[in-house]
A and B are shown apart, each in its own frame.
Chain A
Amino acid sequence: MLTIENLHKTYHTHTVLHQVTLELPLGQVLAVLGRSGCGKTTLLKTVAGLLVPDAGSINWAGASMEAAPPRNREMVYLSQEPLLFPHLSVFENIAYGLRVRKEAEVQAKVERMLQELELQEHAQKKPAQLSGGQRQRVAFGRAIIFLPRVLLLDEPFASLDAQTRASMQQLFLRLARKYSITALFVTHDVKEALLIGDRFAYMAAGKLRIYTSGEAFMEDPTTGVRDELAFWNSINHKITNLP
Chain B
Amino acid sequence: MTISELRLLSKRKLYLRSVFLLLAVLPVVGGLLYGLAYSLGLAGALSSGFTLQHWQDVLASGAFLHALAYSVYIALSAILVATSAALFLTLYFKKSLRQGAMSYLLYLPLTIPALVMGFLVFQLLTKSGLASRVVFGLGWIADLQDFPSLVHDSWGFGIILAHVLMAVPFLTLLFHAIYREQNLDQLQQVSENLGAGQSHFVRRIAIPTILTTAAPNLLLYFIFVLGSYEVPLLIGSQQHQMVSVLAVQKFHRFNLLDIPQGYAISVAFTLFVLLLLSISLKKLQRHG
Q: What residues make up the interface of A, taking CB atoms closer than 8 Å to B?
A: 48-50, 69-72, 74-77, 81, 83, 85-87, 96-97, 100-101, 142-143, 146
Say whether B183 contacts A70, CB under 8 Å: no
Tell me the bound Cα distance from A29 to B243 in angstroms: 68
30 residue pairs bridging A and B, Cβ less than 8 Å apart:
A48-B193, A49-B193, A50-B193, A70-B189, A70-B192, A71-B194, A71-B195, A71-B197, A72-B195, A74-B195, A76-B193, A76-B194, A77-B189, A77-B193, A83-B186, A83-B187, A85-B187, A85-B191, A85-B205, A85-B209, A86-B212, A87-B205, A87-B208, A87-B212, A96-B194, A96-B196, A97-B195, A100-B196, A100-B200, A142-B194
Say whether B189 contacts A50, CB under 8 Å: yes
Q: Inside 8 A of A74's CB, which chain B residues have their CB?
A: 195
Say whether A71 contacts B196, CB under 8 Å: yes
Q: Inside 8 A of A85's CB, which chain B residues have their CB?
A: 187, 190-191, 205, 209
Q: What residues make up the interface of B, taking CB atoms closer than 8 Å to A?
A: 182-183, 186-187, 189-197, 200, 205, 208-209, 212
Q: Inside 8 A of A69's CB, which chain B residues have their CB?
A: 192
Q: Inside 8 A of A49's CB, which chain B residues have their CB?
A: 193
Q: Inside 8 A of B186's CB, which chain A residues have their CB?
A: 81, 83
Say whether A97 contacts B190, CB under 8 Å: no
Say whether A100 contacts B190, CB under 8 Å: no
Known: A83-B186, A85-B209. A100 touches B193 (CB 8 A): no
B252 CB to nearest chain A CB (Å): 47
B56 CB to nearest chain A CB (Å): 46
Say whether A83 contacts B190, CB under 8 Å: yes
**Interface class of chain B by DSSP:** helix
Tell me the bound Cα distance from A71 to B193 in angstroms: 5
Q: Inside 8 A of B187's CB, which chain A residues have their CB?
A: 83, 85
Say whether B194 contacts A86, CB under 8 Å: no
Q: Inside 8 A of A70's CB, which chain B residues have their CB?
A: 189, 192-193
B254 CB to nearest chain A CB (Å): 55
Known: A50-B189, A83-B186. A146 touches B195 (CB 8 A): yes
Which among B195, B196, B208 has the greatest number of chain A C-beta atoms within 10 A?
B195
Q: Inside 8 A of A83's CB, which chain B residues have their CB?
A: 183, 186-187, 190
A243 CB to nearest chain B CB (Å): 45
**Smallest CB-CB separation from A99: which chain B residue?**
B204
**Smallest CB-CB separation from A45: which chain B residue?**
B189
Q: Inside 8 A of A50's CB, which chain B residues have their CB?
A: 189, 192-193
Q: Inside 8 A of B195's CB, which chain A residues have their CB?
A: 71-72, 74, 97, 100-101, 146
Q: Inside 8 A of A142's CB, which chain B residues have their CB?
A: 194
Tell me the bound Cα distance from A75 to B197 in angstroms: 15
Say whether A100 contacts B212, CB under 8 Å: no
Tell me the bound Cα distance from A71 to B196 in angstroms: 6
Q: Inside 8 A of A146's CB, which chain B residues have their CB?
A: 194-195
Say whether B209 contacts A86, CB under 8 Å: yes
**Smallest CB-CB separation from B208: which chain A residue?**
A87
Tell me the bound Cα distance from A77 to B191 in angstroms: 11
Q: Inside 8 A of B182's CB, which chain A residues have their CB?
A: 86
Tell me the bound Cα distance from A74 to B192 in angstroms: 10
Which among B187, B192, B197 has the greatest number of chain A C-beta atoms within 10 A?
B192
Q: Inside 8 A of B193's CB, which chain A residues have their CB?
A: 48-50, 70-71, 75-77
Which among A49, A70, A77 has the greatest number of chain B C-beta atoms within 10 A?
A70
Tell me the bound Cα distance from A142 to B187 in angstroms: 13
A63 CB to nearest chain B CB (Å): 17
**Smallest CB-CB separation from A92: which chain B residue?**
B204
B217 CB to nearest chain A CB (Å): 16
**Smallest CB-CB separation from A97: which chain B residue?**
B194
**3 closest Cβ pairs, A-B complex:** A97-B194, A100-B196, A100-B195
Tell me the bound Cα distance from A81 to B186 in angstroms: 10
